[in-house]
Amino acid sequence: MSQSYTLIKSGLVIDGTGAEPFQADVLVQDKQIVAVGTDAASHASSDASITEIDASGCRVLPGMIDSHCHISFDHPNSNDELFFHRRYGLAALVAGVNAQKVLRAGFTSFFDADCVFDVGVDLRDAIEGGVIEGPRMTTGGNVLINCVGGTAARLLPDEGTRGYARIVHTPDDIVKEIHKQIKMGVDWIKVHVSGMPIRPTKDGGEISTWTLDELKLVCDTAHQFGIPVVGHCRNASSTRDAALAGFDMILHATYMDDEALQVVIDRKVPLVPTFTFQANLADFGAAIGSDANLREVFRAEITESVGTLRAALDAGVPLLTGSESGFSLTPYGDWHYRELQVFVEDLGMTPLQAINSATEQGARALKLEGELGCIKPGYLADILIFDGEPESVITQLGEQHRFKTIMKEGRIVDTSTPLPRDWQLPGWRVSEYSERVLTRELVESMGLTP
Ligand SMILES: [Zn+2]
């Protein structure tokens, strides 16, 4: 039987390594890229059937990777909604649709560090098993947290599970929960290393809520099974301790001091700054009624952290792009590209460097280094045919009409069947009695008689 190939012809290849674009054809067989070059077709066997795709005038680049995406949340506008209004089965069904929005935005892979219930593992298996179309994913289970951690303050119970959070206090709790998650099939263990204090400290911002010994225990327990550990760290000491303990990746890593930066550099711990949420709130928050002070605070997290993150990058630390999609500020499909924009505009990367962060570097979050994220022979055939010049104008990557073809593992993704944009589900969103309080003063101001 003759073998079948796909030949993507005459495009300008952005290979994901940060190299300048070059003219080449790309030959794909089954799930893999088998040849890249002007003579790529000659690598097919002589009796092969070759399907050609004309990419002339287009860029050919690797499918992008979102290394921080919460696929099971369905963009809640509050922790109350996320913690008290989600149901397991429905969350999984909705996540299946939302995953397709991610894919159609040109992101053929993503990493979901923590999920409500065990949705992440089930969704990953449904996609891998061919039940539904979606991006390739790696996933954590519930985030390990103690009851003073996180960003939800008193909404966290003293014990048990709430939303995406699993409360652990003792070494026994920690080991048992990690064993349970590994048995379930997680790809990563996530720890909420820093959290908002109930009563703000004079420095403001998050505090570390774990000891170094506890973090080392997490790493020892997970690494025994070859499972990597990722931390949410939004201050200097949590970032330092996570790096010291042997964490394999750090989300945020904002507000690093010299000591934290040095440990991260010494250990070359991959970082996922995840500025999209902050940038969206700072730049567009007014449109959705966000408080002006809050907008300042979030902008400051970017401006106060880009210096150390840039220093980390210059010292050889991998930076990955993560959008924190899954909240009302970051709905699925719309903002995954924006982290690349922030990397260019605020971190001073070139667009090709930012694309490298979203492709070759992102493969680390998918645990597929050297197999995913580049247009090179032997790599998985996740390929975008893109009508634009992202090497000059990075924001074009947010314009979906420019994606002429999205290929995942050698198969062309259906982008024409419409997806539902929004849905009405009983009890799913937090319902409000009203937007304002009905005072007598308000009634009188309307010219009405109370
Ligand atoms: Zn997150």
Q: Are residues 176 and 69 in the same domain?
A: yes
Tell me which residue of 33, 40, 45 sits closest to 3, measured CA to CA. 45
In a domain, residue 25? The reply is yes
Q: Give the pLDDT band of residue 290 (cuts 50, 70, 90).
A: confident
CA of 292 to the centre of ligand 1 (A): 22
In a domain, residue 427? The reply is no
CA of 14 to the centre of ligand 1 (A): 29
Supply the mean pLDDT for the chain. Answer: 95
CA of 260 to the centre of ligand 1 (A): 21
CA of 28 to the centre of ligand 1 (A): 35
Helix axes 338-345, 351-358, angle to 10 degrees: 140
Q: In this structure, what are the phi and psi dihedrals at residue 448, rounded to the nearest 5 degrees?
A: -100, 160
Q: Are residues 98 and 37 in the same domain?
A: no
Domain containing residue 15: 1-62+373-419
Q: Are residues 104 and 135 in the same domain?
A: yes
Q: What is the CATH number of the domain that holds 44?
A: 2.30.40.10
Q: From residue 392, how far is each of 15, 20, 437 by CA, in Å?
A: 15, 11, 49
The larger pLDDT score, comparing residue 2 to residue 18, is at 18
Query: Which 3 state secondary structure label does DSSP give 350?
Result: coil
Q: Are residues 205 and 278 in the same domain?
A: yes
In a domain, residue 431? The reply is no
Give the helix/strand (H/E) hosting 272.
strand 271-272
Please give the tally of structural domains in the chain: 2
Angle, CA of 48, 54 and 55, to the nearest 5°: 125
Look at residue 74 in the predicted model and tell me its pLDDT.
97
Residues 6 or more apart whose Cβ sits within 8 Å of residue 43:
27, 34, 35
Look at residue 149 in the predicted model and tell me its pLDDT.
84
Q: Are residues 309 and 168 in the same domain?
A: yes
CA of 70 to the centre of ligand 1 (A): 7
CA of 327 to the centre of ligand 1 (A): 9
How, if at all, do strands 4-13 and 59-62 pair?
A: parallel
pLDDT at 1 over 70: no
Q: Are residues 293 and 404 in the same domain?
A: no
Q: Are residues 122 and 269 in the same domain?
A: yes
CA of 232 to the centre of ligand 1 (A): 7
Q: Are residues 288 and 397 in the same domain?
A: no
Look at residue 203 in the predicted model and tell me its pLDDT.
76
What pLDDT digit, counting tens, does each position of 195-214 carry? 988 888 877 789 999 999 99
CA of 100 to the centre of ligand 1 (A): 19
CA of 59 to the centre of ligand 1 (A): 31
CA of 235 to the centre of ligand 1 (A): 15
CA of 31 to the centre of ligand 1 (A): 30
Look at residue 151 in the predicted model and tell me its pLDDT.
84
In a domain, residue 287? The reply is yes
pLDDT at 104 over 90: yes
Give the whole-angstrom CA distance, residue 339 versus residue 357. Answer: 10
In a domain, residue 438? The reply is no
CA of 18 to the centre of ligand 1 (A): 27
What percentage of the chain has pLDDT greater than the value 70?
Answer: 100
In a domain, residue 124? The reply is yes
Q: Are residues 228 and 329 in the same domain?
A: yes
Q: Are residues 142 and 238 in the same domain?
A: yes
In a domain, residue 133? The reply is yes
Kindly report the number of other CB atoms within 10 A of residue 177's CB atom: 20
Look at residue 108 in the predicted model and tell me its pLDDT.
98
Q: Are residues 313 and 393 in the same domain?
A: no
pLDDT at 286 over 90: no
Look at residue 211 in the predicted model and tell me its pLDDT.
97
Look at residue 322 in the predicted model and tell me its pLDDT.
98
